[in-house]
Structure 1
Amino acid sequence: MLRSTRALMLCALFVSTPLLALDYRIETFSEGLENPWAVAFLPDGRMLVTERVGRLRIIEADGSVDPEPVAGLPEVFVAAQAGLMDVVLDPEYSDNRWLYLTYAHGSLEANNTRLARARLVDDELHDFEVLFTAQPLKAGAAHYGGRVAFLADKSLVLTLGDGFDWREQAQNPTNHLGKIVRLNRDGSVPQDNPLVAQEGAAPEIYSLGHRNVQGIFFDAEHDRLYSHEHGPRGGDELNLIEAGNNYGWPLATFGIDYTGARVSPYTELPGLTSPLLHWTPSVAPSSLTLYRGALFPDWQGDLFAATLAERSVRRIRVRDGMLAGEEILFEELGERIRDVRSGPDGALYLLTDNPQGRLLRVVPSE
């Protein structure tokens, strides 16, 4: 499947632009978090934060961290990149209290990404159930993906990684390595998934040819699903995800291997969908959101990508459906940014990826 005309337009009109002025201030909202990974906003003004080491924390509306982690979590495999990852509320959370968690499951010799859900009742998890475990189980502790987004029909997409040492499997439709999968909220497979009728294919697959997708966001207003993924040395990608498309890894990439060897001689190939943009050298994108708040009118509708290696957040301007430049924000922090979220109060929230991590709140300078 060739990449769409819209994707061509988005890619062709991208121009990098510098940040001209600091029109924000950064406040420490919460601190003392151990390698926080994701934040979710509860309807009552509190927040949930996952810590990679296997804890789910409640942050009160005043920023204080509940000293007792949320009870009811399963055993999580924690090593290197493995651990507790995303937390996302059900689209009907106010009625059903379901929240969704992703985490590494298994042992160093046999593990992969798992999706589960539970109800948050009296600050404890109840009715815990495993919905999906990526297959096959593999050795090592790298490239899990682990981000979740809900689509317009309230089905969900889950990002996965290629397991690092199994990159060729990203092109194999019989398994989940290097894929984005789509599930119903109860873990069943939607019957309109693109590979459901393909003999031998994993029916959960929504798109394939990915390396390690750690950012995904559904723009409901324009019906667009954006994702970004880590390349090796270079070749980090921002993609517009369409059902059934193949995004090329490792057949086509702008990155090279960590040894300096070429992964592929091709940056694009017929039948593979090219990225909207790529970051070379790598910035290590770790989370993706779209700003819809009122505090920063100029940011309305723009994408924000947190980065680990660059220790920044990339603001990617979107104008009339086309990329219109990007700015590098928050480098003054000098910290790895694991998550970026547009908060219900109009502020932008950041999680720093440190053993003493912080939840930061970005508001206008005046």
Structure 2
Amino acid sequence: MLKLAFVTIITVFTAFFAIDLKKTEKQPSPVEETAEKNYQTYCAGCHGGKMDAFVDRKWKYGNTKENLYKSIKTGYADGGMPAFEKSFSDKEIKDLADYILKGIKNVDRYTSSEKPLSDTFKTEESTVKLVNVFSGAKVPWGIAFLPDQKMLVTDRSGELYLVNENKQSEKVLGVPEVRASGQGGLMDVVLHPDFAKNNIIYLSYSKPKEGDSKMQTTAILKAVLKGNQLENAKDIFVAEPYSTTRHHYGSRLVFGKDGYLYFSVGERGNEKGNPQNIKNDLGKVHRIKDDGSIPADNPFANKSEGQKTIYSYGHRNPQGMALNPYTGELWSNEHGPRGGDEINIHVKGANYGWPVVSYGINYNGTTFTELTTKPGIEAPIHYWIPSIAPSGMAFVNSKIYKGWEGNLMVGSLRFEYLNRCVIKNKKVVKEELLFKNIGRVREVRMAPDGYLYIGVEGKGVFKIVPVS
């Protein structure tokens, strides 16, 4: 029993800091365990049980060991921080400060003030160059590659661009009206699996409600691309209900191996009313046929309750989706609150827990749930504390990149880099932070020619080219 309890403690500690145990091979000392226990007993009531999320903040009284020691020992009565000099010995206060400093160090590894000095970057595996192939979009939200070496690039402002291999571009006409405000606008784009024959594309966008300037929702449009013109454009999905909020639209589009279209719809900022409510479309991943009709084996297709298009629910705001080319599974990344961004593998009919379970806390530092797991809820295969604000994701299924084959690439909006995730047995076992401070990486796509492309806000679309 003692051995089992010890192993459990090690497992929890490792997950808590997202440490690569195989790499560090370091177990928490009794001192560290005591400090963690003291934090949970005395600090978690105000600051939340997830210390790594708590430390992701601006420190009013400083965050050095000396600052933390003083704050814990004597407190700041006017700021609501009590003194713990009668509860802890000086050694216990110092140990608790060291424990908190470990969390701060985890946050600090994502931050840097240094800007890239060139377009060439040395990575752990090789040296690569970022080649700008299109700079016309301010917020390049989605990228799709055409058979004739051209690509489609959406700009959140509402423009759709057709870009050729010589970086020349033209605007595509016939794009629907979008509500380009907040996080909304023209978002993702994907080709029909048989595009070479039918020229059909799909767009996700924030659709304004007719006759109401305050309401909008996520919609999916199907159209035929002829030259630089969209024809026969038609909405095949409009999420209900419309909302006055202008964030958490979701909006990634992926065709599965089954030929069906999967897409995400965020909970629009209403975590209490939407993601766990199967009677509406918000906070869900949906699955439809290419014409918008319902697959017969959708989880709620033959039930009296539940939206027929739902594939999974309990989501916050999935802004990255990709089909695993090796297993055929649908993967996604999802924005958590303050901490708790996730990577999920989608299971038909599964509940992903938001906001019943989460590894994050509220933006104001309060806790909305102490649960990170619960029976009947699908757990993420990986989570980030602090939040990196993930957006865009792609599996590397090309031998062009030495050591990257099979890796999962995820864009970070908050920390402005590309996250390389090494996957083994459906777990992230290692991460590398690429191109730090390049800009908000909104989109990540693998092209048919085997090259990776990223969309960076304010800078455009880049092709990642190995140089050694």
TM-score (normalised: structure 2): 0.72
How far does residue 95 in structure 1 lie from its aligned partner after superposition? 0.6
How far does residue 313 in structure 1 lie from its aligned partner after superposition? 1.1
Q: Secondary structure at the match of 1:26?
A: strand
Q: Secondary structure at the match of 1:255?
A: coil
Question: Aligned match of 2:150 in 10, 26, 46?
Answer: 46
How far does residue 225 in structure 1 lie from its aligned partner after superposition? 1.1
Moved more, 87-96 or 258-267: 258-267
AA paired with 1:123? N
Question: Aligned match of 1:86 in 188, 191, 208?
Answer: 188
| Inter-CA distance 217–121: structure 2 relative to 1 (3 Å threshold) | same
How far does residue 22 in structure 1 lie from its aligned partner after superposition? 5.2
Tell me which residue corresponds to 2:259.
154
Q: Is the Cα–Cα contact under 8 Å of residues 167 and 178 in structure 1 kept in the other structure?
A: no
Aligned mates of 1:147, 1:245 — CA distance in 2: 19
- The answer for unaligned runs of 5 or more in structure 1 is 1-7
Q: CA RMSD in A?
A: 2.0
Tell me which residue corresponds to 1:205.
310
How far does residue 144 in structure 1 lie from its aligned partner after superposition? 0.3
Higher relative contact order (CA 8 A, sep 6+): 1
Tell me which residue corresponds to 1:342.
446
Q: Is the Cα–Cα contact under 8 Å of residues 339 and 359 in structure 2 kept in the other structure?
A: yes
How far does residue 101 in structure 1 lie from its aligned partner after superposition? 0.3
Q: How does 1:200-349 map to 2 (within 5 A)?
A: 200-319=305-424, 321-333=426-438, 335-349=439-453
How far does residue 323 in structure 1 lie from its aligned partner after superposition? 3.2
How far does residue 168 in structure 1 lie from its aligned partner after superposition? 3.6
| Inter-CA distance 15–198: structure 2 relative to 1 (3 Å threshold) | farther
Q: Secondary structure at the match of 2:403?
A: helix
Tell me which residue corresponds to 2:463.
361
Tell me which residue corresponds to 1:26.
130
Tell me which residue corresponds to 2:165.
61
| Inter-CA distance 197–114: structure 2 relative to 1 (3 Å threshold) | same
Aligned mates of 1:25, 1:332 — CA distance in 2: 15
Offset from partner CA, 1:207-240 (integer Å, 9 cap, x none): 0000001111112431211111000111100001
Tell me which residue corresponds to 2:39.
none
How far does residue 319 in structure 1 lie from its aligned partner after superposition? 3.3
Aligned mates of 2:395, 2:247 — CA distance in 1: 27
Aligned mates of 2:416, 2:150 — CA distance in 1: 27
Tell me which residue corresponds to 1:4.
none
Q: Is the Cα–Cα contact under 8 Å of residues 151 and 220 in structure 1 kept in the other structure?
A: no
Aligned mates of 1:168, 1:175 — CA distance in 2: 9
Aligned mates of 2:129, 2:425 — CA distance in 1: 28
How far does residue 163 in structure 1 lie from its aligned partner after superposition? 0.4
Q: Secondary structure at the match of 2:136?
A: strand
How far does residue 321 in structure 1 lie from its aligned partner after superposition? 4.4
Q: How does 1:113-124 map to 2 (within 5 A)?
A: 113-124=218-229
| Inter-CA distance 102–301: structure 2 relative to 1 (3 Å threshold) | same
Tell me which residue corresponds to 2:28.
none
Aligned mates of 2:200, 2:340 — CA distance in 1: 36
- Number of residue pairs aligned between Structure 1 and Structure 2: 352
